[in-house]
Structure 1
Amino acid sequence: MTPPSGSPGPDGTADMDSTADFDSAQRLMTQFTAQLTIQLDRLGHSSRPGSRHDVRRGGRDRPPTLVAVAHGSRDPEALRTVTALLDRVRALRPGLPVRLGHIELNQPLLTDTLAALRGEAVLVPLLLSRGYHTKQDIPDAVAAAPHLAARIAAPLGPDPLLAEALHARLAEAGHRAGVPHGAGVAAPHGAGVAGVAASHRAGVVLAAAGSRDPDAAVDVARTAALLSARLGGVPVLPGYASGSGPTVPEAVRALAALGHDRIAVASYFTAPGRFAAQCANAAQGAGVTQCAHAAPRIAAAPLGAHPAVARLILRRYDQTLAFAPLSPPAATVGV
Protein backbone atom coordinates (compact mmCIF):
# COMPACT_ATOMS: atom_id res chain seq x y z
CA MET A 1 0.00 0.00 0.00
CA THR A 2 1.35 3.40 -0.97
CA PRO A 3 1.15 5.80 1.98
CA PRO A 4 -0.68 9.09 1.49
CA SER A 5 1.49 11.97 0.31
CA GLY A 6 3.39 13.39 3.23
CA SER A 7 2.65 10.42 5.53
CA PRO A 8 5.31 8.24 7.17
CA GLY A 9 6.72 5.42 5.08
CA PRO A 10 7.80 2.04 6.48
CA ASP A 11 10.89 3.62 8.03
CA GLY A 12 8.85 6.29 9.79
CA THR A 13 9.99 9.06 7.42
CA ALA A 14 7.74 11.17 5.22
CA ASP A 15 7.71 11.62 1.47
CA MET A 16 10.40 14.22 0.69
CA ASP A 17 8.28 16.10 -1.86
CA SER A 18 5.58 16.88 0.68
CA THR A 19 7.33 16.81 4.07
CA ALA A 20 8.49 20.42 3.88
CA ASP A 21 5.04 21.69 2.92
CA PHE A 22 3.35 19.63 5.64
CA ASP A 23 5.87 20.63 8.33
CA SER A 24 5.57 24.30 7.41
CA ALA A 25 1.77 24.16 7.43
CA GLN A 26 1.79 22.22 10.70
CA ARG A 27 4.04 24.82 12.36
CA LEU A 28 1.80 27.64 11.19
CA MET A 29 -1.34 25.82 12.37
CA THR A 30 0.25 25.04 15.74
CA GLN A 31 1.24 28.69 16.24
CA PHE A 32 -2.16 29.94 15.17
CA THR A 33 -3.99 27.44 17.37
CA ALA A 34 -1.84 28.35 20.36
CA GLN A 35 -2.59 32.06 19.90
CA LEU A 36 -6.30 31.39 19.43
CA THR A 37 -6.40 29.14 22.50
CA ILE A 38 -4.77 31.83 24.65
CA GLN A 39 -7.28 34.44 23.47
CA LEU A 40 -10.25 32.11 24.01
CA ASP A 41 -8.99 31.04 27.42
CA ARG A 42 -8.80 34.70 28.44
CA LEU A 43 -12.32 35.26 27.18
CA GLY A 44 -13.55 32.17 29.01
CA HIS A 45 -11.89 33.35 32.23
CA SER A 46 -13.40 36.83 31.97
CA SER A 47 -16.86 35.39 31.33
CA ARG A 48 -17.00 33.16 34.39
CA PRO A 49 -19.79 34.11 36.78
CA GLY A 50 -18.48 36.40 39.47
CA SER A 51 -15.48 37.61 37.49
CA ARG A 52 -14.83 41.32 37.34
CA HIS A 53 -15.84 41.61 33.70
CA ASP A 54 -18.42 38.80 33.48
CA VAL A 55 -18.68 39.10 29.67
CA ARG A 56 -21.10 36.71 27.99
CA ARG A 57 -19.74 35.07 24.83
CA GLY A 58 -21.30 36.79 21.84
CA GLY A 59 -23.65 38.70 24.10
CA ARG A 60 -25.55 35.54 25.03
CA ASP A 61 -26.94 34.96 28.50
CA ARG A 62 -26.31 31.25 28.04
CA PRO A 63 -23.48 29.76 25.97
CA PRO A 64 -24.41 27.33 23.19
CA THR A 65 -24.69 23.75 24.39
CA LEU A 66 -21.69 21.58 23.68
CA VAL A 67 -22.97 18.29 22.32
CA ALA A 68 -20.28 15.63 22.43
CA VAL A 69 -20.93 13.04 19.72
CA ALA A 70 -19.61 9.57 20.56
CA HIS A 71 -19.76 6.59 18.26
CA GLY A 72 -21.21 4.14 20.76
CA SER A 73 -20.13 0.64 21.76
CA ARG A 74 -21.51 -2.55 23.24
CA ASP A 75 -18.62 -2.49 25.70
CA PRO A 76 -20.06 -0.99 28.92
CA GLU A 77 -16.66 0.51 29.72
CA ALA A 78 -17.01 2.80 26.69
CA LEU A 79 -19.94 4.74 28.15
CA ARG A 80 -18.23 5.01 31.53
CA THR A 81 -15.10 6.36 29.86
CA VAL A 82 -16.93 8.95 27.77
CA THR A 83 -18.92 10.05 30.83
CA ALA A 84 -15.68 10.55 32.78
CA LEU A 85 -14.22 12.50 29.87
CA LEU A 86 -17.19 14.87 29.76
CA ASP A 87 -16.96 15.33 33.54
CA ARG A 88 -13.44 16.65 32.92
CA VAL A 89 -14.80 19.01 30.27
CA ARG A 90 -17.40 20.36 32.71
CA ALA A 91 -14.74 20.85 35.38
CA LEU A 92 -12.62 22.85 32.95
CA ARG A 93 -15.54 25.08 31.86
CA PRO A 94 -18.06 25.46 34.71
CA GLY A 95 -21.37 26.83 33.51
CA LEU A 96 -21.04 25.41 30.00
CA PRO A 97 -23.96 23.07 29.25
CA VAL A 98 -22.54 19.77 28.01
CA ARG A 99 -24.62 16.93 26.58
CA LEU A 100 -23.82 13.54 25.08
CA GLY A 101 -25.26 11.87 22.00
CA HIS A 102 -24.29 8.55 20.37
CA ILE A 103 -24.36 7.73 16.69
CA GLU A 104 -25.41 4.16 17.48
CA LEU A 105 -25.44 1.35 20.06
CA ASN A 106 -25.73 3.50 23.22
CA GLN A 107 -28.25 5.80 24.82
CA PRO A 108 -28.78 8.65 24.50
CA LEU A 109 -28.77 8.59 20.72
CA LEU A 110 -27.68 11.81 19.04
CA THR A 111 -31.09 12.31 17.43
CA ASP A 112 -32.77 12.12 20.85
CA THR A 113 -30.27 14.53 22.42
CA LEU A 114 -30.82 17.09 19.68
CA ALA A 115 -34.60 16.69 19.81
CA ALA A 116 -34.58 17.61 23.51
CA LEU A 117 -32.45 20.73 23.07
CA ARG A 118 -33.54 24.27 22.28
CA GLY A 119 -31.58 27.31 21.19
CA GLU A 120 -27.98 26.94 20.05
CA ALA A 121 -25.61 24.01 20.00
CA VAL A 122 -22.11 23.10 18.86
CA LEU A 123 -21.60 19.43 18.04
CA VAL A 124 -18.08 18.18 18.78
CA PRO A 125 -17.44 14.71 17.33
CA LEU A 126 -15.43 12.51 19.69
CA LEU A 127 -14.01 10.99 16.53
CA LEU A 128 -10.37 11.02 15.52
CA SER A 129 -10.53 11.55 11.76
CA ARG A 130 -12.79 12.54 8.94
CA GLY A 131 -15.05 9.86 7.50
CA TYR A 132 -18.64 8.78 6.92
CA HIS A 133 -19.79 9.64 10.44
CA THR A 134 -18.49 13.21 10.29
CA LYS A 135 -19.54 13.81 6.70
CA GLN A 136 -22.91 12.08 6.63
CA ASP A 137 -24.32 10.73 9.90
CA ILE A 138 -23.79 13.80 12.08
CA PRO A 139 -24.97 16.36 9.45
CA ASP A 140 -28.04 14.21 8.84
CA ALA A 141 -28.85 14.25 12.55
CA VAL A 142 -28.54 18.04 12.65
CA ALA A 143 -30.71 18.40 9.56
CA ALA A 144 -33.40 16.40 11.38
CA ALA A 145 -33.39 19.02 14.17
CA PRO A 146 -34.35 22.25 12.34
CA HIS A 147 -35.45 23.84 15.62
CA LEU A 148 -31.77 24.20 16.60
CA ALA A 149 -29.19 26.72 15.47
CA ALA A 150 -26.28 24.30 15.33
CA ARG A 151 -22.73 24.01 14.08
CA ILE A 152 -20.57 20.93 13.71
CA ALA A 153 -16.95 21.13 14.79
CA ALA A 154 -14.09 19.29 13.14
CA PRO A 155 -13.21 15.85 14.53
CA LEU A 156 -10.63 15.74 17.30
CA GLY A 157 -7.80 14.51 15.13
CA PRO A 158 -5.23 15.27 14.04
CA ASP A 159 -3.98 17.59 16.78
CA PRO A 160 -0.82 17.89 18.91
CA LEU A 161 -2.94 17.41 22.04
CA LEU A 162 -3.78 13.89 20.85
CA ALA A 163 -0.09 13.16 20.37
CA GLU A 164 0.43 14.31 23.96
CA ALA A 165 -2.30 11.98 25.23
CA LEU A 166 -1.00 9.05 23.13
CA HIS A 167 2.50 9.64 24.49
CA ALA A 168 1.15 9.59 28.05
CA ARG A 169 -0.77 6.35 27.49
CA LEU A 170 2.32 4.69 26.03
CA ALA A 171 4.36 5.81 29.04
CA GLU A 172 1.72 4.40 31.39
CA ALA A 173 1.98 1.06 29.59
CA GLY A 174 5.74 0.97 30.11
CA HIS A 175 7.06 2.38 26.84
CA ARG A 176 10.22 4.49 27.13
CA ALA A 177 11.93 5.74 24.00
CA GLY A 178 15.41 5.00 25.35
CA VAL A 179 14.74 2.02 27.63
CA PRO A 180 13.82 -1.54 26.62
CA HIS A 181 10.30 -2.64 27.59
CA GLY A 182 11.79 -5.44 29.69
CA ALA A 183 14.41 -3.21 31.31
CA GLY A 184 14.21 -5.19 34.55
CA VAL A 185 15.44 -8.43 32.95
CA ALA A 186 19.05 -9.55 33.04
CA ALA A 187 21.33 -8.17 30.35
CA PRO A 188 23.10 -10.48 27.91
CA HIS A 189 26.47 -11.73 29.22
CA GLY A 190 29.09 -9.02 28.87
CA ALA A 191 26.61 -6.23 28.10
CA GLY A 192 25.92 -3.32 30.41
CA VAL A 193 22.65 -1.40 30.69
CA ALA A 194 23.69 0.88 27.85
CA GLY A 195 24.37 -2.18 25.72
CA VAL A 196 20.91 -3.55 26.39
CA ALA A 197 19.27 -0.23 25.46
CA ALA A 198 21.35 0.04 22.31
CA SER A 199 20.41 -3.49 21.24
CA HIS A 200 16.72 -2.62 21.02
CA ARG A 201 15.25 -0.34 18.37
CA ALA A 202 11.89 1.18 19.26
CA GLY A 203 8.92 1.42 16.94
CA VAL A 204 5.25 2.21 17.45
CA VAL A 205 2.11 1.09 15.65
CA LEU A 206 -0.73 3.61 15.78
CA ALA A 207 -3.78 1.32 15.96
CA ALA A 208 -6.86 3.02 14.49
CA ALA A 209 -10.35 1.97 13.50
CA GLY A 210 -9.90 2.46 9.77
CA SER A 211 -12.21 3.77 7.07
CA ARG A 212 -12.78 3.55 3.34
CA ASP A 213 -12.64 7.34 3.21
CA PRO A 214 -9.16 8.41 2.03
CA ASP A 215 -9.36 11.54 4.20
CA ALA A 216 -9.36 9.30 7.27
CA ALA A 217 -6.04 7.73 6.27
CA VAL A 218 -4.56 11.19 5.73
CA ASP A 219 -5.67 12.29 9.20
CA VAL A 220 -4.28 9.16 10.88
CA ALA A 221 -0.98 9.54 9.01
CA ARG A 222 -0.69 13.11 10.30
CA THR A 223 -1.30 11.92 13.85
CA ALA A 224 1.39 9.27 13.34
CA ALA A 225 3.80 12.02 12.30
CA LEU A 226 2.88 14.14 15.33
CA LEU A 227 3.35 11.17 17.67
CA SER A 228 6.68 10.29 16.06
CA ALA A 229 7.88 13.84 16.69
CA ARG A 230 6.62 13.70 20.29
CA LEU A 231 8.56 10.47 20.80
CA GLY A 232 11.76 12.03 19.56
CA GLY A 233 11.74 10.52 16.09
CA VAL A 234 10.67 6.95 16.90
CA PRO A 235 9.02 5.60 13.73
CA VAL A 236 5.23 5.33 13.95
CA LEU A 237 3.22 3.30 11.45
CA PRO A 238 -0.58 3.29 11.23
CA GLY A 239 -2.36 -0.05 11.53
CA TYR A 240 -6.11 -0.49 11.12
CA ALA A 241 -8.87 -2.69 12.48
CA SER A 242 -10.92 -2.25 9.30
CA GLY A 243 -10.84 -0.52 5.93
CA SER A 244 -8.24 -0.87 3.20
CA GLY A 245 -5.10 0.04 5.16
CA PRO A 246 -2.49 -2.30 6.67
CA THR A 247 -3.70 -4.22 9.70
CA VAL A 248 -2.03 -3.92 13.10
CA PRO A 249 -0.18 -7.26 12.67
CA GLU A 250 1.01 -6.16 9.23
CA ALA A 251 2.32 -2.89 10.65
CA VAL A 252 4.07 -4.78 13.47
CA ARG A 253 5.70 -7.12 10.95
CA ALA A 254 6.78 -4.18 8.78
CA LEU A 255 8.58 -2.57 11.73
CA ALA A 256 10.13 -5.88 12.75
CA ALA A 257 11.39 -6.46 9.21
CA LEU A 258 13.21 -3.12 9.48
CA GLY A 259 14.96 -4.24 12.65
CA HIS A 260 12.63 -2.70 15.24
CA ASP A 261 12.36 -5.33 17.96
CA ARG A 262 10.86 -3.14 20.70
CA ILE A 263 7.40 -2.44 19.29
CA ALA A 264 4.57 -0.77 21.17
CA VAL A 265 0.98 -0.30 20.05
CA ALA A 266 -0.66 3.08 20.68
CA SER A 267 -4.44 2.72 20.92
CA TYR A 268 -5.90 5.51 18.78
CA PHE A 269 -9.44 5.16 20.13
CA THR A 270 -11.44 7.54 22.26
CA ALA A 271 -12.72 4.76 24.52
CA PRO A 272 -12.55 0.99 24.98
CA GLY A 273 -14.56 -1.11 22.55
CA ARG A 274 -14.44 -3.96 20.07
CA PHE A 275 -11.88 -2.40 17.72
CA ALA A 276 -9.59 -1.31 20.56
CA ALA A 277 -9.60 -4.82 22.05
CA GLN A 278 -9.15 -6.36 18.61
CA CYS A 279 -6.06 -4.23 17.91
CA ALA A 280 -4.52 -4.95 21.30
CA ASN A 281 -4.99 -8.70 20.84
CA ALA A 282 -3.70 -8.58 17.29
CA ALA A 283 -0.54 -6.83 18.44
CA GLN A 284 0.34 -9.70 20.74
CA GLY A 285 -0.43 -12.32 18.11
CA ALA A 286 1.19 -10.62 15.16
CA GLY A 287 3.25 -13.67 14.29
CA VAL A 288 6.60 -11.90 14.48
CA THR A 289 9.50 -14.18 15.35
CA GLN A 290 11.47 -12.36 18.02
CA CYS A 291 15.13 -12.88 18.74
CA ALA A 292 16.28 -14.21 22.09
CA HIS A 293 16.71 -10.76 23.59
CA ALA A 294 13.75 -9.02 21.89
CA ALA A 295 11.57 -6.99 24.23
CA PRO A 296 7.89 -7.97 24.57
CA ARG A 297 5.36 -5.83 22.74
CA ILE A 298 3.11 -3.61 24.81
CA ALA A 299 -0.33 -2.19 24.01
CA ALA A 300 -1.36 1.14 25.51
CA ALA A 301 -4.85 1.97 26.73
CA PRO A 302 -7.22 4.11 24.63
CA LEU A 303 -7.13 7.89 25.00
CA GLY A 304 -10.03 7.83 27.47
CA ALA A 305 -10.51 10.70 29.90
CA HIS A 306 -7.00 12.09 29.51
CA PRO A 307 -6.89 15.83 30.40
CA ALA A 308 -5.43 16.71 26.99
CA VAL A 309 -8.49 15.20 25.27
CA ALA A 310 -10.83 17.23 27.48
CA ARG A 311 -8.91 20.38 26.59
CA LEU A 312 -9.11 19.47 22.91
CA ILE A 313 -12.90 19.11 23.06
CA LEU A 314 -13.14 22.67 24.38
CA ARG A 315 -10.65 23.83 21.75
CA ARG A 316 -12.86 22.45 18.96
CA TYR A 317 -15.92 24.08 20.55
CA ASP A 318 -14.19 27.46 20.82
CA GLN A 319 -12.72 27.27 17.32
CA THR A 320 -16.14 26.59 15.85
CA LEU A 321 -17.70 29.60 17.56
CA ALA A 322 -14.75 31.82 16.64
CA PHE A 323 -14.82 30.96 12.95
CA ALA A 324 -18.54 30.55 12.36
CA PRO A 325 -20.95 32.41 14.64
CA LEU A 326 -24.16 30.49 15.10
CA SER A 327 -27.03 31.21 12.76
CA PRO A 328 -29.39 28.93 10.89
CA PRO A 329 -29.16 26.92 8.78
CA ALA A 330 -26.77 24.49 10.44
CA ALA A 331 -23.37 24.11 8.87
CA THR A 332 -20.31 21.96 9.22
CA VAL A 333 -17.07 23.68 10.22
CA GLY A 334 -13.66 22.31 9.40
CA VAL A 335 -14.73 18.87 8.20
Structure 2
Amino acid sequence: MTLVLAAHGTQDPAGAVVVEEIADAVRRRLPGVPVEVAYVDVRSPSLTEVLSRVSGSAVVVPAFLAAGYHVRVDVPEQILLSGAESVTVTPALGPDDLVLDAVYDRLVAAGWERGAGVVLAAAGSSDSRAIADVHRAARRLSVLTGGLVQVGFITSAQPSVPEAVASAGPRVAIASWLLAPGLFHQRLADMGADLVSEPIGAHPRLVDLVVRRALSAGIVDLSTMLVAQ
Protein backbone atom coordinates (compact mmCIF):
# COMPACT_ATOMS: atom_id res chain seq x y z
CA MET A 1 0.00 0.00 0.00
CA THR A 2 1.25 3.46 -0.94
CA LEU A 3 0.80 6.68 1.01
CA VAL A 4 0.19 9.71 -1.21
CA LEU A 5 0.58 13.16 0.33
CA ALA A 6 -1.65 15.43 -1.77
CA ALA A 7 -0.72 19.10 -1.47
CA HIS A 8 -2.02 22.25 -3.16
CA GLY A 9 1.10 23.23 -5.05
CA THR A 10 2.92 26.53 -5.40
CA GLN A 11 5.17 28.21 -7.95
CA ASP A 12 7.65 28.94 -5.17
CA PRO A 13 10.34 26.20 -5.16
CA ALA A 14 10.67 26.63 -1.40
CA GLY A 15 7.10 25.44 -1.00
CA ALA A 16 7.81 22.22 -2.88
CA VAL A 17 10.91 21.68 -0.73
CA VAL A 18 8.78 21.87 2.42
CA VAL A 19 6.27 19.34 1.09
CA GLU A 20 9.14 16.97 0.31
CA GLU A 21 10.51 17.53 3.83
CA ILE A 22 7.15 16.46 5.26
CA ALA A 23 7.14 13.38 3.03
CA ASP A 24 10.70 12.50 4.07
CA ALA A 25 9.77 12.80 7.75
CA VAL A 26 6.80 10.50 7.20
CA ARG A 27 9.04 7.96 5.43
CA ARG A 28 11.29 7.86 8.48
CA ARG A 29 8.28 7.26 10.71
CA LEU A 30 6.82 4.56 8.44
CA PRO A 31 9.79 2.55 7.18
CA GLY A 32 8.87 0.23 4.35
CA VAL A 33 5.83 2.28 3.29
CA PRO A 34 6.16 3.94 -0.12
CA VAL A 35 5.39 7.65 0.26
CA GLU A 36 4.65 9.75 -2.84
CA VAL A 37 4.01 13.49 -3.21
CA ALA A 38 1.26 14.73 -5.52
CA TYR A 39 -0.30 18.12 -6.22
CA VAL A 40 -3.88 19.02 -7.01
CA ASP A 41 -3.02 22.39 -8.57
CA VAL A 42 -0.16 24.53 -9.93
CA ARG A 43 2.62 21.91 -9.79
CA SER A 44 3.17 18.41 -11.07
CA PRO A 45 2.94 15.50 -10.70
CA SER A 46 -0.80 15.69 -10.27
CA LEU A 47 -2.67 13.34 -7.98
CA THR A 48 -4.06 11.64 -11.09
CA GLU A 49 -0.55 11.05 -12.45
CA VAL A 50 0.77 9.63 -9.21
CA LEU A 51 -2.17 7.30 -8.61
CA SER A 52 -2.12 6.04 -12.19
CA ARG A 53 1.36 4.63 -11.67
CA VAL A 54 0.87 3.30 -8.14
CA SER A 55 0.79 -0.48 -7.93
CA GLY A 56 -1.86 -1.79 -5.56
CA SER A 57 -3.94 0.19 -3.09
CA ALA A 58 -3.25 3.71 -1.88
CA VAL A 59 -4.06 6.03 1.00
CA VAL A 60 -4.36 9.72 0.08
CA VAL A 61 -3.74 12.23 2.85
CA PRO A 62 -4.89 15.71 1.74
CA ALA A 63 -2.25 18.12 3.07
CA PHE A 64 -4.75 20.94 3.46
CA LEU A 65 -5.64 22.97 6.53
CA ALA A 66 -9.35 23.13 5.71
CA ALA A 67 -11.76 20.93 3.80
CA GLY A 68 -12.51 23.37 0.99
CA TYR A 69 -12.97 23.01 -2.76
CA HIS A 70 -9.69 21.24 -3.41
CA VAL A 71 -10.41 18.57 -0.81
CA ARG A 72 -14.09 18.13 -1.60
CA VAL A 73 -13.92 18.38 -5.41
CA ASP A 74 -10.42 18.28 -6.89
CA VAL A 75 -9.13 15.33 -4.88
CA PRO A 76 -12.04 12.96 -5.67
CA GLU A 77 -12.11 14.08 -9.33
CA GLN A 78 -8.41 13.41 -9.79
CA ILE A 79 -8.73 10.03 -8.10
CA LEU A 80 -11.55 9.15 -10.49
CA LEU A 81 -9.52 10.24 -13.52
CA SER A 82 -6.58 8.09 -12.40
CA GLY A 83 -8.56 4.89 -12.79
CA ALA A 84 -7.20 3.63 -9.47
CA GLU A 85 -9.56 1.09 -7.98
CA SER A 86 -8.47 0.94 -4.34
CA VAL A 87 -7.96 4.39 -2.85
CA THR A 88 -8.75 5.53 0.69
CA VAL A 89 -8.91 9.28 1.36
CA THR A 90 -8.33 10.53 4.90
CA PRO A 91 -9.68 13.79 6.36
CA ALA A 92 -7.70 16.97 5.70
CA LEU A 93 -5.08 17.97 8.26
CA GLY A 94 -6.83 21.05 9.62
CA PRO A 95 -8.15 22.13 11.98
CA ASP A 96 -6.79 19.22 14.06
CA ASP A 97 -5.36 20.07 17.48
CA LEU A 98 -1.94 18.72 16.48
CA VAL A 99 -1.72 21.31 13.72
CA LEU A 100 -2.67 24.06 16.16
CA ASP A 101 0.10 22.91 18.49
CA ALA A 102 2.51 23.38 15.59
CA VAL A 103 1.11 26.85 14.79
CA TYR A 104 1.51 27.87 18.42
CA ASP A 105 5.13 26.69 18.43
CA ARG A 106 5.86 28.70 15.30
CA LEU A 107 4.21 31.75 16.85
CA VAL A 108 6.30 31.56 20.00
CA ALA A 109 9.47 30.94 17.96
CA ALA A 110 8.74 34.15 16.00
CA GLY A 111 8.88 36.15 19.24
CA TRP A 112 5.23 36.43 20.25
CA GLU A 113 4.67 37.02 23.95
CA ARG A 114 1.48 36.73 25.97
CA GLY A 115 -0.49 39.94 26.00
CA ALA A 116 0.08 40.72 22.34
CA GLY A 117 -2.79 40.28 19.92
CA VAL A 118 -2.85 37.39 17.48
CA VAL A 119 -4.37 37.13 14.01
CA LEU A 120 -4.63 33.71 12.43
CA ALA A 121 -3.93 34.41 8.76
CA ALA A 122 -5.43 31.93 6.30
CA ALA A 123 -5.44 31.77 2.52
CA GLY A 124 -9.22 32.14 2.29
CA SER A 125 -11.86 30.23 0.38
CA SER A 126 -15.27 30.66 -1.22
CA ASP A 127 -16.38 27.46 0.57
CA SER A 128 -18.25 28.29 3.79
CA ARG A 129 -17.19 24.97 5.31
CA ALA A 130 -13.53 25.82 4.82
CA ILE A 131 -14.11 29.23 6.41
CA ALA A 132 -15.75 27.50 9.37
CA ASP A 133 -12.67 25.27 9.73
CA VAL A 134 -10.46 28.36 10.01
CA HIS A 135 -12.67 29.83 12.73
CA ARG A 136 -12.52 26.54 14.62
CA ALA A 137 -8.74 26.69 14.39
CA ALA A 138 -8.75 30.24 15.79
CA ARG A 139 -10.84 29.16 18.77
CA ARG A 140 -8.39 26.36 19.52
CA LEU A 141 -5.43 28.74 19.17
CA SER A 142 -7.19 31.15 21.55
CA VAL A 143 -7.04 28.46 24.22
CA LEU A 144 -3.29 28.03 23.66
CA THR A 145 -2.52 31.76 23.65
CA GLY A 146 -4.82 32.67 26.51
CA GLY A 147 -6.50 35.45 24.52
CA LEU A 148 -8.93 36.00 21.68
CA VAL A 149 -7.39 35.14 18.30
CA GLN A 150 -8.80 37.09 15.36
CA VAL A 151 -9.19 35.54 11.90
CA GLY A 152 -7.94 37.27 8.76
CA PHE A 153 -7.97 36.06 5.17
CA ILE A 154 -5.37 36.78 2.52
CA THR A 155 -7.90 36.47 -0.30
CA SER A 156 -11.43 35.31 -1.17
CA ALA A 157 -13.01 35.97 2.25
CA GLN A 158 -13.52 38.63 4.90
CA PRO A 159 -12.20 40.12 7.07
CA SER A 160 -8.88 40.66 5.34
CA VAL A 161 -5.67 40.17 7.29
CA PRO A 162 -4.99 43.96 7.47
CA GLU A 163 -8.52 44.54 8.80
CA ALA A 164 -8.05 41.86 11.46
CA VAL A 165 -4.63 43.24 12.42
CA ALA A 166 -6.07 46.75 12.79
CA SER A 167 -8.70 45.48 15.23
CA ALA A 168 -6.42 43.25 17.28
CA GLY A 169 -4.69 45.89 19.37
CA PRO A 170 -1.50 47.96 19.39
CA ARG A 171 0.84 44.94 19.38
CA VAL A 172 -0.13 42.21 16.95
CA ALA A 173 1.41 38.99 15.71
CA ILE A 174 0.28 37.09 12.65
CA ALA A 175 0.09 33.33 13.13
CA SER A 176 0.51 31.80 9.71
CA TRP A 177 -2.22 29.26 8.89
CA LEU A 178 -0.26 28.17 5.83
CA LEU A 179 1.49 24.89 5.24
CA ALA A 180 4.45 26.06 3.17
CA PRO A 181 6.22 29.20 1.90
CA GLY A 182 4.90 30.94 -1.18
CA LEU A 183 3.33 34.14 -2.41
CA PHE A 184 0.65 34.19 0.28
CA HIS A 185 3.18 33.99 3.10
CA GLN A 186 5.35 36.65 1.47
CA ARG A 187 2.37 39.01 1.41
CA LEU A 188 1.87 38.71 5.16
CA ALA A 189 5.02 40.74 5.82
CA ASP A 190 3.27 43.88 4.51
CA MET A 191 -0.04 43.52 6.36
CA GLY A 192 0.70 45.69 9.38
CA ALA A 193 1.64 43.21 12.11
CA ASP A 194 4.67 43.48 14.39
CA LEU A 195 5.77 39.97 13.53
CA VAL A 196 4.77 37.03 11.35
CA SER A 197 5.33 33.40 12.21
CA GLU A 198 6.75 30.92 9.75
CA PRO A 199 4.49 28.49 7.87
CA ILE A 200 3.81 25.19 9.64
CA GLY A 201 6.14 23.18 7.41
CA ALA A 202 7.52 19.83 8.53
CA HIS A 203 6.79 20.47 12.19
CA PRO A 204 6.92 17.22 14.22
CA ARG A 205 3.31 17.61 15.32
CA LEU A 206 2.11 17.92 11.74
CA VAL A 207 4.15 14.85 10.80
CA ASP A 208 2.56 13.05 13.76
CA LEU A 209 -0.85 13.85 12.31
CA VAL A 210 -0.01 12.62 8.80
CA VAL A 211 1.23 9.35 10.29
CA ARG A 212 -1.90 9.01 12.43
CA ARG A 213 -4.12 9.61 9.41
CA ALA A 214 -2.25 6.95 7.46
CA LEU A 215 -2.37 4.41 10.27
CA SER A 216 -6.08 5.00 10.82
CA ALA A 217 -6.62 4.27 7.13
CA GLY A 218 -4.79 0.95 7.45
CA ILE A 219 -1.57 1.88 5.67
CA VAL A 220 0.22 -0.82 7.69
CA ASP A 221 -0.73 -3.62 10.03
CA LEU A 222 -0.42 -2.07 13.51
CA SER A 223 0.16 -5.43 15.15
CA THR A 224 3.13 -5.99 12.84
CA MET A 225 4.56 -2.62 13.82
CA LEU A 226 4.23 -3.42 17.52
CA VAL A 227 6.03 -6.74 17.06
CA ALA A 228 8.79 -5.03 15.08
CA GLN A 229 9.34 -2.52 17.88
Check whether TM > 0.5. yes
Which amino acid in the other structure matches residue 307 of structure 1?
Answer: P
> How many residue pairs are counted as aligned between the two chains?
219
Structure 1 residue 86 displacement after superposition: 1.1
Unmatched runs of 5 consecutive residues or more in structure 2: 220-229
Structure 1 residue 101 displacement after superposition: 0.3
User: In the alignment, which of 238, 246, 254 is matched to residue 167 of structure 2?
Assistant: 254
Structure 1 residue 228 displacement after superposition: 1.1
Structural mapping, 1:221-240, within 5 Å: 221-231=135-145, 233-240=146-153
Sequence identity, in percent? 39
1-side partners of 2:181 and 2:84: how far apart? Answer: 34
Structural mapping, 1:126-145, within 5 Å: 126-145=63-82
Structural mapping, 1:244-283, within 5 Å: 244-256=157-169, 261-283=170-192
TM normalised by structure 2 equals 0.91
Q: Which stretches of structure 1, 4 residues or longer, exceed 6 Å deviation after superposition?
A: none
Aligned match of 1:328: none
For the Cα contact (< 8 Å) 1:102–1:108, is it kept in 2? yes
Matched residue SS, 1:119: coil
For the Cα contact (< 8 Å) 2:98–2:206, is it kept in 1? yes
Q: Does 2:66 correspond to 1:157?
A: no
User: In the alignment, which of 133, 147, 154 is matched to residue 241 of structure 1?
Assistant: 154
Aligned match of 1:314: 211
For the Cα contact (< 8 Å) 1:206–1:268, is it kept in 2? yes
2-side partners of 1:161 and 1:242: how far apart? Answer: 25
Structure 1 residue 280 displacement after superposition: 3.0
2-side partners of 1:125 and 1:270: how far apart? Answer: 12
User: In the alignment, which of 122, 125, 131 is matched to residue 217 of structure 1?
Assistant: 131
Structure 1 residue 176 displacement after superposition: 2.1
Structure 1 residue 262 displacement after superposition: 2.0
1-side partners of 2:33 and 2:101: how far apart? Answer: 25
Which amino acid in the other structure matches residue 172 of structure 2?
Answer: I
**Range 163-172 or range 272-281, more displaced:** 272-281
Structure 1 residue 278 displacement after superposition: 1.5
Indicate the structure (1 or 2) with the bigger Cα radius of gyration.
1
2-side partners of 1:176 and 1:321: how far apart? Answer: 41
2-side partners of 1:316 and 1:310: how far apart? Answer: 10
TM normalised by structure 1 equals 0.63
2-side partners of 1:217 and 1:96: how far apart? Answer: 34
Matched residue SS, 2:37: strand
For the Cα contact (< 8 Å) 2:49–2:82, is it kept in 1? no
For the Cα contact (< 8 Å) 1:265–1:280, is it kept in 2? no
For the Cα contact (< 8 Å) 2:173–2:195, is it kept in 1? yes
Aligned match of 1:121: 58
